[in-house]
C-alpha cells in the first residue's frame, strides 16, 4: 500500500461567496466545510501527512481542526499559503515528507466519496497521475475574443475535472518546479504535469463532489447535509 500525503489548499479569500469568512471555514452542518472535507480522508490507508496552506489569520483555527480530525499517527502541518492556489500548493509540497503519492484536494469539496479517493490513488500509483472527473453534460464551445464561436469539440472527449488529483511525488515536485521557472500558471495541478508529457488518467467520479464556490452551492451543500445525503 502506497504512502500518501494530502494537501488541502485553503488560503483563498472566496470573493465569489460574498462572505467575510473564507469558504473553507464556513459552517456546514455541525462543523466547518474544511472539517467535513478532512474527515473524508482521515482513515485513508497509508496516509502519513495532511498539509494545509491557509491565510495567516486562520493558522490557529486550522491547527485545532487538524488536531481534532486526524488520528495520532497522521502528522498535521499548517502553513501560510500564497497569492494563487498554485503558489499555495507549491509551498505545501515543500513540506511533504518521504511518501510515494501526493493527493491534492480542494478544502471546499466536502462530499467526495472514499471509494473515488481510493480509485484515484490506485490509478496514480499505476500511471503516474490520476484525477477525478465527470463527463461534460453541456456542449462546450470554444470562442474568440469577440465571443464568436470558433469550435464545438466533441462532447465524447470532454470531461469536467474535480479533485482529488493524485500524483507520484517526484513527478509533481518536478512539475511545480518547472511551472515556477517558466512562469506557467495552470488552473489545476494536472495541467502542470501534462505539459511535461507525463501520463495522467481520468477516473470517473460523480456530481456530488461539487466545489462550493457560489452562494447557491452553499445552499445545496446545507440541504444535502440536512437530508443526511452528505455521506
Ligand atoms: O478560488 P478557487 O475556488 O479556485 O479555490 C480552490 C481552492 O484553492 C480553495 O480551497 C481555496 O481556499 C484554495 N486557494 C488557496 N490559495 C489561494 C487561492 C485559493 O489555497 N491563493
pLDDT of residue 19: 65
pLDDT of residue 13: 74
CA-CA distance, 93 to 53, in Å (whole number)?
10
Mutate to test the pocket of ligand 1, among 88, 95, 105 (most ligand atoms within 8 A of CB): 88
Q: Is the beta carbon of 110 within 6 A of some atom in ligand 1?
A: no
pLDDT of residue 141: 97
Handedness of CA 56, 74, 35, 185 (dihedral sign): positive
Q: What is the mean pLDDT of each run of 10 residues along the chain (231 residues)?
A: 96 70 94 96 97 96 97 97 96 98 97 98 98 97 98 96 98 98 97 98 97 95 88 62
What is the Cβ-side half-sphere exposure of residue 10, based on CA atoms within 13 angstroms? 36
Residue labelled with grid coordinates 460574498: 18
Answer whether 108's CB lies under 8 Å from 24's CB. Answer: yes
Q: What CATH fold (topology level) applies to the domain 4-223?
A: Spore Coat Polysaccharide Biosynthesis Protein SpsA; Chain A (3.90.550)
The model's pTM is: 0.95
Mutate to test the pocket of ligand 1, among 7, 8, 12, 188 (most ligand atoms within 8 A of CB): 12
Would you list the domain boundaries of the chain? 4-223
- Going from the Cα of 162 to the center of ligand 1, the distance in angstroms, rounded, reads 13
Q: List the beta bridge partners of residue 49.
A: 5, 75
Answer whether 16's CB lies under 8 Å from 213's CB. Answer: yes
- Going from the Cα of 19 to the center of ligand 1, the distance in angstroms, rounded, reads 15
SS (H, E, C) the chain: CCCEEEECCECCCCHHHCCCCCHHHCEECCEEHHHHHHHCCCCCCCEEEEEEEECHHHHHHHHHHHHHHCCCCCEEEEEECCCCHHHHHHHHHCCCCCCCEEEECCCCCCCCCHHHHHHHHHHHHHHCEEEEEEECCCCCCEECCCCCEEECCCHHHCEEEEEEEEEEHHHHHHHHHHHHHHCCCCCCHHHHHHCCCCCEEEEECCCCCCCCCCHHHHHHHHHHHHCCCCC
Structure-block grid coordinates of residue 64: 485545532
Amino acid at each position: 500500500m502506497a504512502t500518501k500525503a494530502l494537501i488541502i489548499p485553503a488560503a483563498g479569500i472566496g470573493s465569489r461567496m460574498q462572505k467575510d469568512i473564507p469558504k473553507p471555514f464556513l459552517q456546514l452542518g455541525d462543523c466547518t466545510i474544511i472539517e467535513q472535507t478532512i474527515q473524508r480522508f482521515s482513515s485513508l490507508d497509508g496516509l502519513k501527512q495532511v498539509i494545509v496552506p491557509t491565510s495567516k489569520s486562520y493558522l490557529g483555527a486550522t491547527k485545532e481542526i487538524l488536531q481534532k480530525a486526524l488520528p495520532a499517527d497522521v502528522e498535521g502541518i499548517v502553513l501560510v499559503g500564497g497569492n494563487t492556489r498554485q503558489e499555495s500548493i507549491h509551498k505545501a509540497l515543500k513540506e511533504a515528507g518521504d511518501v510515494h503519492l501526493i493527493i491534492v484536494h480542494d478544502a471546499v469539496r466536502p462530499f467526495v466519496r472514499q471509494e473515488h479517493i481510493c480509485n484515484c490513488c490506485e490509478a496514480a500509483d499505476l500511471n503516474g497521475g490520476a484525477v477525478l472527473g465527470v463527463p461534460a453534460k453541456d456542449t462546450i464551445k470554444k470562442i474568440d475574443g469577440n465571443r464568436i464561436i470558433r469550435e464545438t469539440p466533441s462532447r465524447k472527449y470532454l470531461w469536467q475535472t474535480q479533485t482529488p488529483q493524485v500524483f507520484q511525488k517526484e513527478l509533481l515536485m518536478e512539475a511545480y518546479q518547472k511551472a515556477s521557472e517558466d512562469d506557467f500558471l495552470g488552473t489545476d495541478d494536472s495541467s502542470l504535469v501534462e505539459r511535461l508529457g507525463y501520463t495522467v488518467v481520468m477516473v470517473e467520479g460523480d456530481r456530488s463532489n461539487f466545489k462550493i464556490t457560489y452562494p447557491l452551492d452553499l445552499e445545496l451543500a446545507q440541504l444535502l447535509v440536512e437530508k443526511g445525503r452528505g455521506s
